[in-house]
């Protein structure tokens, strides 16, 4: 084995006799770097590395424990295996050294065969560990790639299902994209400004944003004669409309029972309750206030704002200013008052999204402050 390919062994001991002895024992198989003090050894490691360190316990400038602690505190050196050398048999010191990160403990006088065996075994262990770490890293990359591919498929499938639902009563499919971005604005504010009753984890926030795409999933079961009617709905037709939250809840519940997934739970809550109203006059359950899931209360605002500012078969869109006025007038009746405060804070961002994503043809109609929903009631 050439000098360049030999493993580098650092030997740190203040006794020159012991240093020379260790060099003579190891130099045939290893490139030995001797140091009389811990500070000199640490200085060497600022610009070099080693495969293993033999470290004396008792030294005048820095004890072996102090050197080992410095080695363990440095990311560049903490993985270098360190074997303690000591002239005393002290079980407490041995335990302390091992707890600090030493991999082995050899007493003086050193027996050549024991030293060579211990060094060889530690180098082999280090080599196996690095091989294992490489395999784990490779496997982790492979698993991450597979996971990311599955997540991408999941997102595409989710978007396809949402778009298919949306295209049944919107020409461009922009309703889903706009509503999702409106929801994102409110959710991000709540994440950044948690309050009692309005605090979300990042996972919960992401679930709300993603699952808001499925809020109208129940429309799949609605007949075109009602969904696409270019006029105000009759009472009988509106009764059919009121079924779509329950249809969406039923559809998603079938999957919730099969999987323990917070995303599906959130999607079901939103599909079922996004037409509930703060004062209890909504549908299908007539629940009120904080009985309505926070996720559904958020989506309700986004859904209505988009309904007001978009063209639909039964109406023309109204201006952003008029839509904001209608929504603010329904603070505490149709909508959660605190969420409306957030909406008011970011109304300009809502307008920008409405103008940028899937804009409908020009056209406005005034509603004199009367509330309308996604179906013009």
Whether the CB-CB separation of 67 and 12 falls below 8 Å is answered with yes
Do 350 and 206 fall into the same domain?
Answer: yes
Q: Does residue 53 have a pLDDT over 60?
A: yes
| Angle in degrees, 0-180, between the axes of helices 294-308 and 202-211, rounded to the nearest 10 | 40
DSSP conformational letter for 106: E
Highest mean pLDDT among 66-80, 235-249, 253-267: 66-80
> Which of 7-21, 77-91, 92-106, 358-372 bottoms out in mean pLDDT, i.e. has the lowest?
358-372
Q: What is the pLDDT of residue 372?
A: 43
CA dihedral 63, 67, 73, 78 (to 10 degrees): -130
pTM over 0.75: no
Token digits of residue 57: 């316990």
Segment holding 52, helix H or strand E = strand 52-56
Q: Does residue 343 have a pLDDT over 60?
A: yes
Do 120 and 53 fall into the same domain?
Answer: yes
Do 172 and 69 fall into the same domain?
Answer: no
3-class SS of residue 178: helix
157, with CB counted inside 10 A (0-12, 13-18, 19+), is exposed
Do 225 and 130 fall into the same domain?
Answer: no
Strands of the 82-86 sheet, one edge to the other = 31-35, 8-12, 52-56, 82-86, 104-107
Do 203 and 336 fall into the same domain?
Answer: yes
In a domain, 337, yes or no: yes
In a domain, 143, yes or no: no
Domain with 184 in it: what CATH number?
1.10.3210.10
> Tens digit of pLDDT for each residue in 179-200?
999 999 999 999 999 999 999 9
Token digits of residue 97: 């050294």
> Tens digit of pLDDT for each residue in 117-159?
999 999 999 899 889 888 888 888 888 888 777 777 777 777 7
Q: Which domain holds residue 7?
A: 3-136
DSSP conformational letter for 312: B
Do 222 and 89 fall into the same domain?
Answer: no
In a domain, 217, yes or no: yes
In a domain, 152, yes or no: no
Nearest of 242, 367, 222 to residue 307 by alpha carbon: 367
Q: What is the pLDDT of residue 362?
A: 36
């Amino acid at each position: 084995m050439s000098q360049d390919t030999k493993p580098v062994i650092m030997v740190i001991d203040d006794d020159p006799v012991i240093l020379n002895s260790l060099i003579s024992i190891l130099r045939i198989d290893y490139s030995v770097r001797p140091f009389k003090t811990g500070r000199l050894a640490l200085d060497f490691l600022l610009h070099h590395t080693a495969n293993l360190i033999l470290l004396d316990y008792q030294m005048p400038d820095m004890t072996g424990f102090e050197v080992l602690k410095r080695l363990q505190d440095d990311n560049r050196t903490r993985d270098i295996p360190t074997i303690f050398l000591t002239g005393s048999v002290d079980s407490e010191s041995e335990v302390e050294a091992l707890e600090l990160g030493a991999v082995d403990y050899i007493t003086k006088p050193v027996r050549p065969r024991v030293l060579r065996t211990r060094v060889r075994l530690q180098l082999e262990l280090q080599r196996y560990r690095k091989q294992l770490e490489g395999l784990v890293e490779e496997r982790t990359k492979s698993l991450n790639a597979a996971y990311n591919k599955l997540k991408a498929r999941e997102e595409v499938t989710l978007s396809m299902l949402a778009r298919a639902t949306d295209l049944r009563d919107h020409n461009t499919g922009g309703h889903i994209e706009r509503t999702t971005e409106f929801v994102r604005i409110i959710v991000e504010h709540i994440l950044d400004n948690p309050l009692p009753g309005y605090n979300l984890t990042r996972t919960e926030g992401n679930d709300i944003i993603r699952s808001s795409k499925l809020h109208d999933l129940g429309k799949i079961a609605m007949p075109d004669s009602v969904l696409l009617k270019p006029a105000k709905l009759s009472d009988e037709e509106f009764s059919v409309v009121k079924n779509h939250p329950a249809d969406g809840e039923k559809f998603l519940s079938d999957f919730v029972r099969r999987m323990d997934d917070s995303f599906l739970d959130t999607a079901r809550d939103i599909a079922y309750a996004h037409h509930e109203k703060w004062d209890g006059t909504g549908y299908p359950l007539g629940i009120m206030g904080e009985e309505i899931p926070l996720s559904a209360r958020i989506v309700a605002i986004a859904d209505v704002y988009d309904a007001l500012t978009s063209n639909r078969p039964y109406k023309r869109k109204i201006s952003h200013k008029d839509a904001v006025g209608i929504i603010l007038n329904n603070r505490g009746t149709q909508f959660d008052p605190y969420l409306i405060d957030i909406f008011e804070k970011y109304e300009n961002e809502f307008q920008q999204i409405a103008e940028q994503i899937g804009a409908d043809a020009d056209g406005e109609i005034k509603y004199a402050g009367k509330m309308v929903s996604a179906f013009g009631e």
